[in-house]
Amino acid sequence: MWEPDNAREVAECLRDAAQEHRALNIVGAGTAQYWGGDIRASTTLRIHKLDSVLRYEPGDMTIQVEAGMAVADLQSVVADHGQRLALDAARIDRGATVGGMLATADQGPAQLAFGGPRDLVIGATLVLSDGEIARSGGHVIKNVAGYDLARLVSGSLGTLAAITDLTFRLHPIPAATGTLSIETGIDEAVTYAEAIAETALEPVAAEWISGRLLIRFEGTRSGVHERLDAAAHITGVGTSILDDDEATQAWAQQAAVSSRNGHSAQDTTTLHGLARPSDVSSIVHAAERSCLEHGAVPTIGAGLLTGRVDLRIDAATLSAHAATVDQWRQDIESHDGTVTLRDRPEGLTDLIDAWGEPPSAVAALRAVKAAYDPGDLLGPGRFHPWF
């Protein structure tokens, strides 16, 4: 295991690896190590010691931090100034790093209002596979000078370059946050969420978690109250407005769907489905059907207005996992969507591919990979069978 202290050492590691033709697995905090295909790499390059704030300008609401910094640590630094990085992916509580966040393009419920990590990144430093250092973007929130390489490494899962620092745009912490909850099936949940969005109430999150709809608002204290009431009027009988503790608990339950608890849940697979918002309910039904058919137990979390469906399946046998994944994937693909395999029991990828139908631009993906990592030394196997 290599554990460089700074970007210069990361560059040395990559240069050495290139010379020795040594394949590397880049790791931040390791909360998403199994996403995608299995890596064939003997050496782990841990970025976690690169964990300092390089530059924080509260007045500009921008911060530059090293890539190994935990998102949670970043949040506590900026919270002192009433600011936040508007990201709430499930893995943050477990120490996920800012570099890992961008490399996985992982996002939580607030994606509805703020987008994903790539929408908040305004600058990046990358170390390429031959040890060359490259910066793109900068420190200002608006910038179109040059190609935006930070967006290119979004979703790259450690296969394109090592990210050594990132600069983010921050947002103010709202004066108040409020959550509405109602026990309901997916079909009604979709109807409610759409009706609430249509009345310009501007929810920042609308999630359905195995039988329960959660809608989150942010703003001023009185404004959030007004909108919670207006939304509750739409959802009707059975709606409750959660107090702070209840809300924290409810959102933790939401996070648990896409994030397995601990490393050793050998009978758990987590899947990440993406589709049009209008297809969410049929995709949720498809997930339930696949699990039922193959004797797997589903836990489902759906971003109703964003079109994200996370499925956690618990099943006894590996073949039941594989059959469920396969069937659900076919279903989502028939709706032009995609499914990514995240955490899974060992051996699952012997039975099914980590990735489904390649996108039409797969040749461009391969060309980009070849341009930045011609020796295929960074995370080889991660995107198998696409490349």
Partner 1 sequence: MTLTETTTDTARDDDTFLDSLCGRLRPGAVIVDPTALRTYECDGLTGFRVTPSAVVLADTTEEVRQAVLTCREFGVPYVARGAGTGLSGGALPTSDGIVISLQRMRAILEIDPRNLRAVVEPGVTNIDITKAAAPFGLHFAPDPSSQQVCTVGGNVAENSGGAHCLKYGFTVHHVLELEVVLADGSVVRLGGVNREQPGYDLLAAFVGSEGTLGIVTQVVVRLVRNPATVHTLCADFPSITAASEAVTRIIAAGIVPAAIEMMDALAIEASEAAVGAGYSLDTAAALIVENDGPAAESKVEFEAVEQICRDTGTTKIRIAKDSAERAMIWRGRKAAFAAVGRISPDYIVQDGVVPRTRLSEILSRIGEKAAESGLRVANVFHAGDGNLHPLVLYSEAEGQLEQAEELSREIAELCVEMSGSLSGEHGIGTDKACSMPRMFTESDLAAMWRLRRAFDPEELCNPGKLLPTPRLCGEKPGVYVPHALEVSGDIERF
Ligand X SMILES: Cc1cc2nc3c(=O)[nH]c(=O)nc-3n(C[C@H](O)[C@H](O)[C@H](O)COP(=O)(O)OP(=O)(O)OC[C@H]3O[C@@H](n4cnc5c(N)ncnc54)[C@H](O)[C@@H]3O)c2cc1C
- Only one of the segments 124-132, 208-216, 242-250, 255-263 lies at the binding site for partner 1 (rule: CB under 8 A); that segment is 124-132
Residue 117: name the closest of 100, 104, 105, 103 by CA. 105
Say which amino acid occupies 170.
L
Q: Binding to ligand X by residue 27, rule CB under 6 A?
A: yes
Out of ligand X, partner 1, none, what residue 258 binds, judged by CB under 5 to 8 A for its kind, is none
Nearer to partner 1, 316 or 371 (CB): 371
Q: Binding to ligand X by residue 91, rule CB under 6 A?
A: yes
For residue 66, list its beta bridge partners: 165
Q: Binding to partner 1 by residue 77, rule CB under 8 A?
A: no
Query: Any idea of the CA torsion for 102, 248, 265, 162, to the nearest 10 degrees?
Result: 10
Out of partner 1, ligand X, none, what residue 233 binds, judged by CB under 5 to 8 A for its kind, is none
Q: Binding to partner 1 by residue 355, rule CB under 8 A?
A: yes
Q: Which of 379, 381, 383, 387 binds ligand X (CB under 6 A)?
A: 379
Q: Which of 63, 87, 163, 215 binds ligand X (CB under 6 A)?
A: 163
- The residues, any chain, with a CB within 8 Å of residue 229's CB and separated by 6 or more, are none
Q: Binding to partner 1 by residue 168, rule CB under 8 A?
A: no
Q: CA neighbours within 13 Å on the CB side: how many for 116?
A: 16
Out of ligand X, partner 1, none, what residue 203 binds, judged by CB under 5 to 8 A for its kind, is none
Q: Is 80 helix (H, G, I), strand (E, B) or coil?
A: coil
163, burial (CB in 10 Å: exposed 0-12, middle 13-18, buried 19+): buried
DSSP per-residue letters across 12-39: HHHHHHHHHT--EEEESSSTTTTSSSPP
DSSP per-residue letters across 322-373: HHHHHHHHHHHHHTT-EEEE-S--TTHHHHS-SB-SPPTTHHHHHHHHHHH-
- Between CA 10 and CA 69 the distance in angstroms is 15
Cβ 23 to ligand X shortest distance, Å? 12
221-235 vs 186-198: helix crossing angle, rounded to 10: 130
Q: Binding to partner 1 by residue 55, rule CB under 8 A?
A: yes
Say which amino acid occupies 253.
Q
Q: How many CB atoms lie within 10 A of CB 9?
A: 16
Q: Which of 10, 11, 180, 186 binds partner 1 (CB under 8 A)?
A: 11
Out of ligand X, partner 1, none, what residue 29 binds, judged by CB under 5 to 8 A for its kind, is ligand X
Size of the site for ligand X (CB under 6 A): 24
Q: Binding to partner 1 by residue 316, rule CB under 8 A?
A: no
Out of ligand X, partner 1, none, what residue 317 binds, judged by CB under 5 to 8 A for its kind, is none
Out of ligand X, partner 1, none, what residue 334 binds, judged by CB under 5 to 8 A for its kind, is none
- Between CA 351 and CA 375 the distance in angstroms is 28
Q: Which of residues 232-271 bind partner 1 (CB under 8 A)?
A: none
Q: Binding to partner 1 by residue 219, rule CB under 8 A?
A: yes
Out of partner 1, ligand X, none, what residue 386 binds, judged by CB under 5 to 8 A for its kind, is partner 1
Out of partner 1, ligand X, none, what residue 306 binds, judged by CB under 5 to 8 A for its kind, is partner 1
Q: Which of residues 98-117 bind partner 1 (CB under 8 A)?
A: 105, 107, 111, 115-116
Distances (CA, A) of 202 to 41, 67, 193, 206: 45, 32, 11, 10
Give the interface with ligand X as residue ranges (CB under 6 A). Answer: 26-33, 47, 67, 91, 95-97, 99-100, 103-104, 157-158, 162-163, 263, 379
